Amino acid sequence: MDGLHLFIDNSNIFIEAQRVARIKFYYDDELVVRLRISYGALLDEIRQGRSLKETVLVGSRPPDNDALWDKLKNLNVEPRIFDRSFYTGREKRVDAEVINAVRDTLEDNPEPGTVAIVAGDQDYVTTLERCVKRKWEVEIYFWEQASGFLKNLRGTKFISLDSYFEKITFKEKARE
């Protein structure tokens, strides 16, 4: 196998982490706002000692005062940032970029490896089916509330992040 290729839909994991925090860990509004993902811990849990060939994290443009995206570069994570819709404020192009990054990996690596994706919606199903068809191992990491289509996708392995919640999240300090 040709190594581990990791793709993260940042908005997807973050928004759904807030839901897990509320429902399973009884976070109140103040704690939910302070919830953050520890990307170093997330990478460690997914990597499990394997070497990462690439790590692509895709998301919407963070606030100007958010230093996280610069810190990700220290972890050899390639952030790809997109602006939200000017009219609706909704996320645009993130899922498409993750899909294209996975497809680029399939094209650029003739020897199959492992595609690990951190995402929970069914927009990724057809791309992951192509990975399986080309003999790639596929690991899907997400919260338990992921789409049933992803959780039950033939030829893939679904790993729930719920049991890792306390390892891969932290609470930002309260602002005074």
Q: Domain ranges in the chain?
A: 4-171
Report CA dihedral (94, 99, 104, 105) to the nearest 10 degrees: 110
Residue 161 has pLDDT above 50, yes or no: yes
The more confidently predicted of residues 133 and 77 is 133
In this prediction, residue 83 carries a pLDDT of: 62
Tell me how far apart the alpha carbons of residues 103 and 8 are, in angstroms, rounded to a whole number: 14
The more confidently predicted of residues 65 and 60 is 60
* pTM metric for this prediction: 0.86
In this prediction, residue 25 carries a pLDDT of: 86
Tens-digit pLDDT profile for residues 11-62: 888 889 999 999 998 888 888 888 888 888 898 899 998 988 998 888 766 5
For residue 47, give every residue at least 6 positions away whose Cβ sits within 8 Å of its Cβ, in sequence order, or none: 4, 6
CATH number given to 4-171:
3.40.50.1010
Tell me how far apart the alpha carbons of residues 54 and 47 are, in angstroms, rounded to a whole number: 11
pLDDT band of 10, cuts 50, 70, 90: confident
Beta pairing class for 35-37 and 137-142: unpaired
| Mean of all residue pLDDT scores within the chain | 85
Tens-digit pLDDT profile for residues 138-148: 999 999 988 88
In this prediction, residue 26 carries a pLDDT of: 86
